[in-house]
Amino acid sequence: MKTYIYFTFLFLALASCSKNDDPTLMVTRSEWNLEKINSGGAVHLIIEGSTTADKVTIKTYGDGVVSYKNIELDSKKHFSDDVIISFSVTSVPTEEFVLSTELKIYKKTNMIAVTLTSGKLKY
């Protein structure tokens, strides 16, 4: 009987253990800045934080071309970067506008997307 109880307890203990491979992200700073360049301009995002992910990317826009830039992680999986989210060579909006970008964090085969929004911006 003791053996049966022991194996039942061992089975329940092993069955209740789960491995969580979902990446986490903590953004401690996200500062949106505008840069006027001749008749065009750029929107910068200064971003800092930490993650449990193996890889972090951020979506950028340049004159209509969408791409993802890798964010470098240090040995403790912290990051700090000044990323040009959007730029235009020929013109900038004259009114207030809101911009957003997407961070993708990857850990093994799992990926989570997080959207960051600027709030109102004006050149």
Q: Could you tell me which residue, 17 or 35, shows the higher pLDDT?
A: 35
Domains (range + CATH), the chain? 20-121 (2.60.40)
pTM over 0.85: no
Judged against a pLDDT cut of 50, whether residue 2 lies above it is answered with no
For 24-77, write each residue's pLDDT tens digit: 999 999 999 999 999 999 999 999 999 999 999 999 987 778 999 999 999 999
pLDDT of residue 100: 93
Instruction: Tell the residue number behind the tokens 């950028």, with chain if given.
Output: 60
pLDDT of residue 89: 87
